């Protein structure tokens, strides 16, 4: 999706040069890494634009951390190039790269104070003493750690440690900041507020962030683009919305959020509509996908919040399609989640479908109970057709 990037971007020497916003800062070309017989990263190509907040998302063992470690220089790729500006840094040592990393468990130096932790990278860069003091003060203010400069890491709370790690990684003003599961060690409430702070910080500094996470909600919240990895390969690179609403494969659809998937085959093609015969839910009408699908095995995916429920069938709405998908069944399971309720509907055709209904009223007049006869329905436009 980033193939339209100009081939000769302004790069006439110094690799340290800041690329213009929107230009690729980092270009990963066919990078692969094998540990023994395990191919951890299997030919990944990806462009990271300057100033973007990019998330590498995937289940554990998918190769996202290995890819990040290759960007930091802790692993050398067996194949491929990593271009920063126009310089291939694939084999450069960690201390030679204008890239910094925030480690998963922060890796703060336990024998150094907050101040010395933050100043560590500046001293290595040979900065003047007075400049170091100024920069440290600046970073301390940036992450709101005033008054804690003399503390050792083990005299800090988890949230404070996380801030020190962030300040230390940002102190050298890296072109690229790598964040390895930066919020995994924080509790839920703190994690949510920290997500907001990280995004705010990234916007303010304009530094390019690459975050590695297994938490899809975290990736969706923070990143402007997400690269989903599976088994060492990039499965899809897209905006959070595109990833959720137009997943490219069944695996992605199931990995990102909840989804109902019905396997089937094309039965009928009628202009911009497609009828797919499914085993579990009978024939389903779907919109013709943008990329034409073959005639073979297909799957229809529908997100639970796009499945509506009612006692008597599709509620008449102005302008809704007549070719609606209507499934009869009984409520098999009710799961109340506060903001919404998830119903599991056992269909007459044999399958089950999940519907997530927002609890928009405080009283339970709209709630359904187990064993109740119900009609589940959804629009063809809300279905995604996937190659199975």
Partner 1 sequence: MSARRIFARPARFAAIAPYVWMVLFFLVPFAFVLKISLSQTAIAQPPYDPVFDVTAGWDALKAALAALSFDNFRLLASDDIYVFAYVRSLTVAVTATALLLLIGYPIAYGMARLPKSWQAVVMVLVIVPFWTSFLIRIYAWINILQHDGLLNQILLALHLVSQPVVWLSTDSAMYIGIVYSYLPFMILPLYATLAKMEPALEEAAADLGAPPWQVFWLVTFPLSLPGVGAGVLLCFIPIVGEFVIPDLLAGSNSLMIGQTLWLEFFTNKDWPVASAAAIVLLVVLLVPLLLYERLQRRQLELGR
- Residues forming contacts to partner 1 in the complex (CB under 8 A) are 72-74, 93-95, 99-101, 103-105, 107-111, 120-121, 124-125, 152, 154-155, 168-169, 172
Report the C-alpha gap between 66 and 68 in whole angstroms.
Answer: 5
Report the C-alpha gap between 167 and 117 in whole angstroms.
Answer: 9
Report the C-alpha gap between 102 and 90 in whole angstroms.
Answer: 20
CB 106, min distance to partner 1, A: 8
- Coil, strand or helix: which one is 222? helix
CB-CB contact of 366 with 343 (8 Å): no
The residue among 103 and 251 lying less far from partner 1, judged by its C-beta, is 103
The residue among 159 and 289 lying less far from partner 1, judged by its C-beta, is 159
CB 71, min distance to partner 1, A: 11
Region of residue 207 (left: phi > 0; alpha: psi -120 to 50; beta: else): beta
Task: Give me the half-sphere count of Cα atoms (radius 13 Å) on the Cβ side of residue 135.
Answer: 22
Q: Cα 153–141–52 angle (5° rounding)?
A: 95
Give CA separation, 261 vs 253, 304, 336, in Å: 9, 10, 22
**Which residues are paired to 331 by β-bridges?**
345
Looking at 226-307, list the stretches that DSSP marks H as alpha helix, in order from N- to C-terminal side.
Answer: 240-245, 250-255
CB 48, min distance to partner 1, A: 18
CB 24, min distance to partner 1, A: 22
CB 177, min distance to partner 1, A: 11
The residue among 172 and 248 lying less far from partner 1, judged by its C-beta, is 172
CB 234, min distance to partner 1, A: 24
CB 111, min distance to partner 1, A: 5
Radius of gyration of the chain (CA): 25
284-286-291-292 Cα dihedral, nearest 10 degrees: 50
The residue among 13 and 126 lying less far from partner 1, judged by its C-beta, is 126
CB 34, min distance to partner 1, A: 17
CB 143, min distance to partner 1, A: 16
- H or E element: which one contains 386? strand 384-387
CB-CB contact of 360 with 367 (8 Å): no
Q: What residues have CB less than 8 Å from 174, skipping those under 6 apart? A: 98, 99, 100, 207
Q: What residues have CB less than 8 Å from 12, skipping those under 6 apart? A: none
CB-CB contact of 263 with 279 (8 Å): yes
The residue among 124 and 203 lying less far from partner 1, judged by its C-beta, is 124
Report the C-alpha gap between 372 and 356 in whole angstroms.
Answer: 16
The residue among 120 and 251 lying less far from partner 1, judged by its C-beta, is 120
The residue among 104 and 349 lying less far from partner 1, judged by its C-beta, is 104
Give CA separation, 351 vs 8, 13, 208, 346, 355, in Å: 54, 61, 46, 6, 13
The residue among 125 and 370 lying less far from partner 1, judged by its C-beta, is 125
CB 150, min distance to partner 1, A: 13
Report the C-alpha gap between 72 and 237 in whole angstroms.
Answer: 21
The residue among 41 and 374 lying less far from partner 1, judged by its C-beta, is 41
The residue among 5 and 93 lying less far from partner 1, judged by its C-beta, is 93
């Amino acid at each position: 999706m980033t193939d339209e990037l100009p081939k000769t971007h302004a790069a006439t020497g110094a690799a340290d040069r800041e690329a213009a916003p929107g230009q690729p800062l980092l270009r990963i070309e066919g990078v692969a890494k094998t540990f023994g017989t395990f191919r951890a990263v299997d030919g990944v190509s990806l462009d990271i634009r300057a100033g973007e907040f990019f998330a590498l998302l995937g289940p554990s063992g998918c190769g996202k951390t290995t890819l990040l470690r290759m960007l930091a220089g802790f692993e050398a790729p067996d194949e491929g190039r990593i271009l920063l500006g126009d310089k291939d840094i694939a084999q450069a040592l960690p201390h030679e790269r204008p890239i910094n990393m925030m480690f998963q468990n922060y890796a703060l130096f336990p024998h150094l104070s907050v101040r010395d932790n933050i100043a560590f990278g500046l001293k290595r860069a040979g900065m003047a003493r007075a400049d170091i003091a100024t920069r440290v003060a600046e970073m301390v203010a940036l992450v709101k750690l005033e008054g804690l400069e003399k503390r050792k890491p083990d005299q800090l709370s988890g949230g404070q440690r996380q801030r020190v790690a962030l300040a230390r990684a940002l102190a050298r003003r890296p072109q690229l900041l790598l964040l390895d599961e930066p919020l995994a060690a924080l509790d839920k409430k703190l994690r949510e507020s920290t997500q907001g702070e990280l995004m705010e910080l990234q916007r303010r500094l304009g530094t390019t962030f690459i975050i590695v996470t297994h938490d899809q909600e975290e990736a969706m919240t923070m990143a402007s683009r997400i690269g989903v990895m599976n088994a060492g390969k990039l499965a899809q690179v897209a905006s959070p919305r595109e990833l959720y609403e137009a997943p490219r494969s069944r695996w992605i659809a199931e990995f990102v959020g909840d989804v109902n998937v019905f396997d089937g085959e094309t039965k009928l093609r009628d202009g911009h509509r497609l009828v797919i015969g499914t085993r579990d839910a009978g024939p389903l009408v779907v919109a013709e996908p943008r990329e034409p699908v073959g005639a073979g095995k297909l799957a229809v995916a529908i997100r639970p919040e796009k499945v509506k429920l009612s006692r008597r069938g599709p509620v008449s709405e102005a302008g809704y399609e007549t070719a609606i998908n209507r499934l009869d069944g009984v409520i098999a399971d009710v799961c109340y989640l506060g903001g919404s309720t998830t119903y599991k509907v056992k269909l007459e055709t044999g399958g089950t479908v999940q519907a997530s209904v927002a609890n928009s009223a405080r009283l339970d007049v709209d709630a359904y109970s187990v064993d109740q006869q119900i009609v589940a329905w959804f629009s063809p436009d809300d279905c995604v057709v996937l190659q199975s």
